[in-house]
Amino acid sequence: MSSDLRARPRLLVSVRDADEAVMAARAGADLVDAKDPVRGALGALPVETVRAIVASIADVAVSSAVAGEPQDAASLPGSVAAMAGTGIGYVKVAVRADFDDDALAAAARAAPGRLIAVLFAGAPMPDDLVGRLAGAGFAGVMIDTATKDGRRLGDLLPAPRLSAFTADARLHGLLSGLAGSLTIADIAVLAAHRPDYLGFRGGLCFGSDRTRGLDAERVALAVQTLRGLDRRNAA
Q: Which of 16, 92, 132, 218 is catalytic?
A: 92
Name, in order, each residue with C-beta under 8 angstroms of 206's C-beta and a sequence gap of 6 or more.
212, 213, 214, 215
Asked if 92 is an active-site residue, the reply is yes
Strand, coil or helix: 62: strand
* Sequential DSSP letters for 70-120: -SSGGGHHHHHHHHHTTT-SEEEEE--TTS-HHHHHHHHHHSTTTEEEEEE
Q: Which of 35, 132, 201, 210 is catalytic?
A: 35
Asked if 148 is an active-site residue, the reply is no
179: nearest Cα among 154, 159, 160: 154
Residues marked as catalytic: 35, 92
